[in-house]
């Protein structure tokens, strides 16, 4: 079973090599946004929330080498706001309402969902689009609802949720490396 999982992950990572130009483009775009005073918002549920927070942590802190802190918010991490929104407006609004509060035209939303069907993540992407944010999705296999409502997507075709999430972490780290390179941060 473990060997099968490692084999599946290896195959997925090999296929992700085709996404390098897209990830480099995302990195350049994000560098311009963040260097210009914009921010990144990220959202997801469960393991995807952990990946979203991992991404924002790398940006506010550092990825490899020291650089200025960058504005990045994991929308699930403000538990007081999130639980108040769920209580008052319902779980489908938990991220969308925060996008309305924090997102500005030109900012970037990274939306993560292994299934691509998370209603609250899809709602956030739709609101972000209307507000003028760039929307990028990290999902599992296509087709899915989240990919359909975002400007761009990296879809991981893998049979297991864990493999999709492991690949998403590799994309997150590659995006951070591309961002740092675009900012001129030594590697």
Q: Of 123, 157, 121, 120, give the one whose Cα is nearest residue 137.
A: 121
Report the distance separating Cα 135 and Cα 66, nearest Å. 27
Mean pLDDT across the chain: 97
pLDDT at residue number 1:
87
By CB neighbour count within 10 A (0-12 exposed, 13-18 middle, 19+ buried), where does 30 fall? Answer: buried
pLDDT at residue number 126:
98
Work out the number of other CB atoms within 10 angstroms of the CB of residue 96: 25
Residues of the chain falling short of pLDDT 70: none
Work out the number of other CB atoms within 10 angstroms of the CB of residue 88: 9
pLDDT at residue number 187:
77
Domains for the chain: give ranges and CATH numbers.
Answer: 1-183 (3.40.50.10490)
Give the global pTM: 0.97
């Amino acid at each position: 079973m473990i060997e099968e999982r490692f084999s599946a992950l290896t195959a997925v990572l090999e296929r992700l090599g085709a996404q390098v130009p897209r990830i480099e483009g995302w990195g350049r775009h994000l560098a311009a946004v963040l260097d210009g005073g914009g921010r990144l918002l990220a959202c997801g549920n469960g393991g995807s929330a952990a990946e979203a927070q991992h991404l924002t942590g790398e940006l506010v802190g550092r990825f490899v080498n020291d650089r200025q802190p960058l504005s990045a918010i994991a929308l699930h991490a403000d538990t007081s706001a999130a639980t108040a929104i769920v209580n008052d407006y319902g779980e489908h609004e938990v991220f969308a309402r925060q996008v309305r509060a924090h997102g500005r035209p030109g900012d970037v939303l990274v939306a993560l969902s292994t299934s691509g069907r998370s209603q609250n993540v899809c709602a956030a992407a739709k609101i972000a689009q209307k507000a003028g944010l760039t929307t990028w999705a990290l999902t599992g296999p296509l087709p899915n609802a989240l990919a359909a409502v975002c400007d761009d997507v990296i879809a991981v075709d893998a049979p297991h949720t864990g493999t999709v999430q492991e690949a998403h972490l590799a994309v997150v780290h590659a995006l951070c490396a591309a961002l740092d390179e675009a900012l001129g941060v030594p590697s």
